[in-house]
Structure 1
Amino acid sequence: MDRLIYTAMTGAAHTLNQKATVSHNLANAATTGYRAETNAFRAVPVYGDGLPTRAFVVDSTTGADFTPGPIQQTDRELDIAIRGSGWIAVQLPGGEEAYTRHGSLQVGPNGILQTHNGFNVIGDAGIISLPQDNRITIAKDGTVSAVPITPLPNTVAIVGRIKLVDPPENQLMKGPDGLFRMKDGTVPLADANVSLVNGALEGSNVNLVHEMVSMIALARQFDMHMKVLESAERNAQQASEIMVVRA
C-alpha cells in the first residue's frame, strides 16, 4: 500500500510539473529562436529505516530540444538566423556570457550592437560598437560591416565580428531567462564553422501537434494517478472496517 501511495502521489505532482512545461512550450510556439523544454521522470525507492517498500518519482533529466526551427525571411539587415547548429554569444548585465538563437538585433542608444531584449552582442574582441549614420551589414561568418550612407557609399569598414559558438549540446543548460549557459561555467571559443543567414530569423522549434497531444496524455495520466489514490483510500477504509468488525 505504501508503495502504491508514494508512487501515485509523487507521480501526480510531477505530472502537474510536466503539464506546466508543455504549457510553457505552447505559449512560446511563436517565439523567435525558442528551444522547447523537455522533462523525464523515473521511480526510485525510498531509503531509510522502516521504508523498504516505498517508492516515489523524481526528475530524471530536464533539458531542451535542440532541433533547429524553421528559418523565416524578413529582409531586415539586423536580423540573423543560424544555419544548423551554433549560438550567438551575448553579455549579461553581470558580465557573464550566455548564448541565444534569437537573432533579432538592434543598435542600442549608445551605439552598441544588442539583442532585442537589450543584451550586448559579444564580438571576437569584446562588445561591438557601431558608428553613426552608417548602414550595418552582417555577413554569414558574423562579420559586421558599416557602410557610410553619404558621401561615399562604397566605403566599407569592418567594425567587428559576432562571436559564434557551437559547444556540445549536453554541456548547455537553459536558464529561466531563456538563455543558455555552460554547465561547468567555462567559456567556449568561437567556432568558424557556424554560419549565419542574413535578413532572416529562426522560428520556434515547438511542434504544436506534439505538444497538444502531450497535454491531453498528461491530463489523462493525472486522472489515473488520482484514481489510484482514491482506490488506495477506499481500500484502507474497507480494511479498517473489516478489522473493527473482527475486533
Structure 2
Amino acid sequence: MIRSLWTAASGMQAQQLNIDNIANNLANVNTAGFKKSRVNFQDLMYETIKEAGTPNAQGSISPNGIEIGNGVRPASVQRLFTQGNFQQTGNPLDLVIEGDGFFQIQLPDGSTAYTRDGSFKQDGDGRIVTSDGYPLFPEIYIPEDAVGININADGTVSVMLAGEEEPQEIGQLELARFANPAGLSSSGRNLFKATVASGAPIIGNPGMEGFGTIAQGYLEMSNVQVVEEMVNMITAQRAYEINSKTIQASEEMLRTVSNLKR
C-alpha cells in the first residue's frame, strides 16, 4: 500500500518535469534557431517477490515471476536538432544553414559557442555579431564604404565598395558540426557549448562533405510544432491526474484499514 503512494508520487514528479519542458518548447516557438527538447523516462528498480522459473510444489517450473515496480524517473532531456522552417527576411545579414552545422561565436572569455541562429548584425567597428554583440568566428569586418554584401552558399563573403565595379572578397564563413549534437550544453542566448558527450567540433566550410550550405536573407525558425506540443501537454496532464487518483485510492484504502473494528 505504501509502495503505491511513492510510485504514484514519482509519476507526478516526472510529469511535472515533462510539463516544464513542454512549456519551454512553447515559449520558444518563435525563437530563431531554437531546437525543441524531449524528456526520456525510465522505470525504477523492481522488487522481486517471486523469480520466474521457480519450481512449484508439483515439481513444474513457474513460467512467470512476481516483480513489483517502484515508479519512474527522468533519464534525460534530449535536444532534437531537426531542421526548422525557413523564413525569408531579405536582410543580407540573416543567414540560414541548409543542412548540418553551427555558426561559431566568440564569447568575451575567449571560448567558442555554437548556434543555429543566423540573425546577425553589424557593430560600430563593422564586425558581424550576434544580437548580444558577440562576434562571428572567424571575425569578418564589413568596410565602411560597402554598399552591398553578398554571402555565397559556400560561405564566401564579398562586398561591393563605392566606386568599384567588381565585388571584393572580405572573408570566409566556417561551420562546426559534432558527432553527437544532442550532447551539446545549452547556455541560453541561443548558444550551445561543446561537451565530452558532444565530442570535439569538426570545422569546415559550408558545402563541404557533411556540412550544410548557407542561404542569405533567410532565418531558420524554431522546430517546435505547436499542435504536437499541445497533444503532449494534454497527455502529460492526464498522466498527472491519473497518478493523483492513484494516491487518492491508496489513501482511501489505508483509511478503510484504519477504520476496521473488532
Q: For the superposition of Structure 1 and Structure 2, which TM-score range results when normalised by the shorter chain?
A: 0.7 to 0.9
SS in 1 for 2:137: strand
Cα gap change, 1:238 to 1:72, in 2 (>3 Å): same
CA distance in 1, matches of 2:43, 2:199: 33
CA distance in 1, matches of 2:121, 2:199: 27
Match of 2:104 in 1: 89
Report if aligned partners of 2:185, 2:195 keep a CA contact under 8 Å in 1. no
Q: How far apart are 1:9 and its partner, in Å? A: 0.5
Report if aligned partners of 2:180, 2:199 keep a CA contact under 8 Å in 1. no
Match of 2:217 in 1: 199
In the alignment, structure 1 residue 73 sits paired with structure 2 residue 88:
yes
Match of 1:147 in 2: 160
Equivalent position amino acid for 2:178 in 1: P
CA distance in 2, matches of 1:16, 1:115: 34
CA distance in 2, matches of 1:176, 1:46: 36
Q: How far apart are 1:105 and its partner, in Å? A: 0.8
Q: How far apart are 1:119 and its partner, in Å? A: 2.1
Q: How far apart are 1:171 and its partner, in Å? A: 5.5
1:172-187 map, 5 Å? 172-177=183-188, 178-184=190-196, 187=200
Picking from 122, 125, 128, the partner of 1:107 is 122
1:1-247 map, 5 Å? 1-45=1-45, 55-123=70-138, 127-134=139-146, 135-148=148-161, 150-152=162-164, 154-170=165-181, 172-177=183-188, 178-184=190-196, 187-192=200-205, 193=208, 194-242=212-260, 245-246=261-262
**Large movers: runs of 4+ above 6 Å:** none
SS in 2 for 1:175: strand
CA distance in 1, matches of 2:7, 2:145: 64
CA distance in 2, matches of 1:216, 1:228: 19
Q: How far apart are 1:239 and its partner, in Å? A: 1.5
**Considering only CA atoms, is the larger Rg found in Structure 1 or Structure 2?**
2
Equivalent position amino acid for 1:93 in 2: P
Cα gap change, 1:5 to 1:54, in 2 (>3 Å): farther
Calculate the TM-score normalised by the size of structure 2: 0.82
SS in 2 for 1:120: coil
Task: Render the CA deviation track for 1:170-209: whole Å, top value 9, x for unaligned.
Answer: 5532414032222218641323322111111111111111
CA distance in 2, matches of 1:176, 1:221: 31
SS in 1 for 2:114: strand
Q: How far apart are 1:222 and its partner, in Å? A: 0.7
User: What percentage of aligned pairs have identical amino acids?
Assistant: 29
CA distance in 1, matches of 2:193, 2:106: 11
Cα gap change, 1:92 to 1:58, in 2 (>3 Å): farther
CA distance in 2, matches of 1:46, 1:108: 59
Calculate the TM-score normalised by the size of structure 1: 0.86
Task: Render the CA deviation track for 1:187-238: whole Å, top value 9, x for unaligned.
Answer: 4132332211111111111111100111111111111111111111111121
Task: Render the CA deviation track for 1:49-106: whole Å, top value 9, x for unaligned.
Answer: xxx9772432212121111011122221111111122211112222221211111111
CA distance in 2, matches of 1:160, 1:189: 20
CA distance in 2, matches of 1:120, 1:188: 18
CA distance in 2, matches of 1:190, 1:215: 38
Q: Structure 2: state its 5+ residue gaps.
A: 48-66
CA distance in 2, matches of 1:186, 1:213: 34
